Structure 1
Amino acid sequence: MMMHSGTKLLRYVQLLDSALPIGGFSHSFGLEAYTHDGRIQTTAQLEHFIRGQLHSSLVRLDGLAIKGVYQAIEQQNAALLALYDKRVHAQRTPRELRESGHKMGKRLLKLARSLYPWMDFVLIDEAVQEHGAFCGITTIHGYINYQLEIELDEAVTGHLYTSVNAYVNSALRLLPIGQTEAQMLIQKLLNDIDSEWSQIRDDDPEDMHSFGIAQEIYAMRHESLPARLFMS
């Protein structure tokens, strides 16, 4: 389906909306454990944490995974698509993060079938049915963006933006910060999104990796907190 450039932009903006009903509002992605222990109490500490996540995990794992998804679709290779999807799933060490990525991805795929009835889902269905893909949120985001004719760079940076936005929205419920302060933080981090992706955009997707060890440990501890506001 050929889309008018304006329509394509609007479809993409809708996909990045934090209000998309895929369950993201229920997850802090480990941030709640940090705030519970008092490790993150200020906007400056939150900014440092998110920058660390962009550098150690989000860009190098999710960003390269989306690049791999694009390559798999271009080759019409369902096995390769499933491989990248499973590698992202396996590298999310904390159980809650694996489950949240899987659930959100399945919800996004279901939503996409309703929003885009013209979209071709044959390859992703084959990846699931014949090659055991998990349909993680990163994979499905990349798959939909490719179908929407979004360029790779925009697809990756858009996904990274939604991740940053999710952290900040979680912080609004966990920390004494206001909406204006939150938006100013997101604005500051936009340059980090672009610069971090620019550093590794030419890397092979086979090199996807994550080394956010502290975040993984805190995410593992989340399920044992005495009281929890979020599911992860």
Structure 2
Amino acid sequence: MMQSGTKLLQYVQLLDSALPIGGFSHSFGLEAYTHDGTIRTTAELKQFIRSQLHSSLIRIDGLAIKGVYQAMEEQDSALLALYDKRVHAQRTPREIRESGHKMGKRLLKLARSLYPWMDFSLIDEAVQVHGAYCGITTIHGYILYQLKIGLDEAVTGHLYTSVNAYVNSALRLLPIGQTEAQMLIQKLLDDIGSEWIRIRDDDPEDMHSFGIAQEIYAMRHESLPARLFMS
């Protein structure tokens, strides 16, 4: 039986920004914002990330993980595939869809090596029988459920990795330092918790996004004359 301390450490390992799944290659639209000068300061970056938490990340990723937990509880591969497909379909920009798919595949491959005791039959069935894409949100939830991480911790942890990814991208795009970046992450932790509490009782069927500006900027990214990131 897995000890509670070991379970916590395995969870923390999944939140590490150095996890080799390719996240460092993506800015998730932020590069387009900095390219035209829309985001130039830490204050503007903070507002951008807060808007993403409110309009997109909580309402798609948060509810999707809740749906994954429901599918895992019921051992329903069709339901698992359904929520995975809905996340994929609601990522309007092509680069964002592809990045989520690629990182999810890499995380699944890594998980098979890290957790040889884990049961991957349900996700395999979701892919082979029901055409799931294996997006990063789905795979993260799938792993955390089997690590027996509570739903609230699973969602807020996943959203923390998203915030961390934005801030790490900003370190390469904006004139901000490591200490300033960590202070920004610290300030955003309350936003993660409060945004999730606001919708945690919603049905996963209601997942949606209204981050239209971010989607437009993310679509513009692929036509930038020079790029540091793949998205």
Task: Give TM-score, length-normalised by structure 1.
Answer: 0.99
Give the secondary-structure state (helix, strand or coil) at the position aligned to 1:17: coil
Counterpart Cα distance in 2 of 1:98 and 1:210: 14
- TM superposition shift of 1:3: 1.2
Percent of residue pairs identical: 89
In the alignment, what sits opposite 1:48?
A: 47
RMSD: 0.3
In the alignment, what sits opposite 2:67?
A: 68
In the alignment, what sits opposite 1:82?
A: 81
In the alignment, what sits opposite 2:98?
A: 99
Counterpart Cα distance in 1 of 2:130 and 2:51: 33
Which 4+ runs in 1 deviate beyond 2 A?
none
In the alignment, what sits opposite 1:154?
A: 153
- TM superposition shift of 1:36: 0.1
Give the secondary-structure state (helix, strand or coil) at the position aligned to 1:139: helix
In the alignment, what sits opposite 1:198?
A: 197
Partner amino acid, structure 2, of 1:220: M
In the alignment, what sits opposite 1:218?
A: 217
Give the secondary-structure state (helix, strand or coil) at the position aligned to 1:49: helix
Give the secondary-structure state (helix, strand or coil) at the position aligned to 1:131: coil
Matches within 5 A, 1:6-21: 6-21=5-20
Partner amino acid, structure 2, of 1:7: T
Give the secondary-structure state (helix, strand or coil) at the position aligned to 2:117: coil
Task: Give TM-score, length-normalised by structure 2.
Answer: 1.00
Q: Deviations over 1:105-156 (max 9, x none)?
A: 0000000000000000000000000000000000000000001000000000
What are the ranges of 5 or more consecutive residues in structure 2 without an aligned counterpart? Answer: none
Q: Does 1:3 align with 2:2?
A: yes
Give the secondary-structure state (helix, strand or coil) at the position aligned to 2:167: helix
Aligned residues: 231
Q: Deviations over 1:13-34 (max 9, x none)?
A: 0000000000000000000000
Counterpart Cα distance in 2 of 1:40 and 1:163: 18
